[in-house]
Chains A and B, each alone.
Chain A
């Protein structure tokens, strides 16, 4: 059973057709990288998966749960899907540790000490345990993003969504975040990652998807994608960003 299966998904923002008849599925343990020009609908696509956007037609099934208008299905899906944002979106009034423990104590009923223990485990995993007491503003961008990854991992998701996780980072901090993501990949986490980090894509992706104007244009294994792109729009895109 695929972890994500989208069929004939349509999305409009007013008159703007943001997702055009998208068919997309991801297998358990599969790592998919999505790339494409700005405004092509990459964020919209992955935000539909955990219900941050609602689609207007088509069906979305995540981990066997069909996403419907009912709040219950959205909550069930979110409980198995973690998300990492371009702007980190850490809670600025809470420490790194509290960012991680909040959902554990409030929603999963862990005691504070159980939650702390679990959160420290994941903060260590992203190699930032020594900064656990700091507020986001006291951390560098790369550190914040790693805390955000730990925060999502604390809920032990089946699938991780990344929306341009390194685009807001200074160049010298990109690699620390990518390394964290590679190590997640090595553990077999299912991942959907919107990124323009092509080195990362080549290294970890099972499949690279090129989107343009709200449609999936090409889906290939990394070698095929980079070396023998078929669609002219993919070629044009690659020639621009590989230059």
Chain B
């Protein structure tokens, strides 16, 4: 693969592209970790957010509010540098980036999903209550199946935000597309000037994000069509 690229495009460019594509896989892994970890956390936060007990709701609301109003960059700094320094422990860029992005994702998805649940007509809750369905059954059989159609498109759309968000992890030394690209852009090698590197990086990010954005758009249109 690497040799092929070098044969095709010459030494610096082939190597650069190979390294960038190689680094892009870590962007993908980090995004998946954030999405899956954040998604699982978001399930619990969403359930807490709509729980029939006010104290539980308040805690969840506080969590969402706190982490939605914290810039991702700040979360990365805190997880990768701030807390390790403050409490004197070692943390790898992988772990720190994963934790920061998971928290970021969980707060966002919990808010999206709460909105999706809120979009289900109140009549559905009332009918379920009148039929004496238990809370869990009501959520599982009535509310969530209907909320999915409101929540799916923004959830997939948010994956794009996560992928773009991972590009900030370079500041705590996470070796992804961004870090490798910047390193090359700063290297005194002919053919690795920023005006060459950054467009290549942009294309790679585009290739990761565009299909998802497209998919989200399709889901949205489907949901709209169904709503009419």
Interface residues of A (CB under 8 A from B): 50-52, 75, 78-79, 81-83, 85, 87, 89-93, 102-103, 106-107, 148, 151-152, 155
Contacts and interface: CB of A to CB of B under 8 A. Distances in A.
B146 to A, nearest CB: 6
B127 A90 contact: yes
Contacts of A90: 127
Nearest to A75: B132
B133 A52 contact: no
Contacts of B131: 78, 102-103, 107, 151-152, 155
B142 A107 contact: no
B130 interface: yes
B129 interface: yes
B222 interface: no
Given A78-B132, A79-B132, A92 B146 contact: yes
B133 A107 contact: yes
17 contacts: A50-B129, A50-B130, A52-B130, A82-B130, A85-B123, A85-B126, A85-B127, A85-B130, A89-B121, A90-B127, A93-B145, A102-B141, A102-B142, A103-B131, A106-B137, A106-B141, A107-B131
Contacts, number: 55
A87 B129 CA distance: 15
Contacts of B132: 75, 78-79, 103, 107, 155
Contact of A87 (B123, B134, B137): B123
Contact of B146 (A51, A52, A93, A155): A93
Q: Nearest 10 A-B pairs (CB), nearest first?
A: A89-B127, A89-B123, A78-B132, A83-B130, A103-B131, A106-B137, A93-B145, A79-B132, A87-B123, A91-B142
A89 B121 CA distance: 9
A89 B133 contact: no
A87 B125 CA distance: 13
A85 B131 CA distance: 12
B92 interface: no
A92 B141 CA distance: 12
A151 B128 CA distance: 11
B90 interface: no
Contacts of B129: 50-52, 78
Given A85-B127, A89-B123, 5 more contacts: A83-B127, A103-B133, A107-B133, A152-B131, A155-B131
A144 B133 CA distance: 20
B124 interface: yes
Interface in B104-159: 121, 123-124, 126-127, 129-134, 137, 141-142, 145-146
Contacts of A89: 121, 123-124, 126-127
Nearest to B134: A107
A50 B132 CA distance: 10
A91 B146 CA distance: 9
Contacts of A81: 130
B127 A91 contact: yes
B145 A52 contact: no
A89 B137 CA distance: 17
Nearest to A52: B126
A33 B134 CA distance: 30
B139 to A, nearest CB: 12
A140 to B, nearest CB: 18
A241 to B, nearest CB: 26
Contacts of A51: 129
Nearest to A100: B131
Contacts of A148: 127
Contacts of A106: 133-134, 137, 141
A7 B84 CA distance: 64
A231 B76 CA distance: 72
A106 B134 CA distance: 9
A89 B125 CA distance: 9
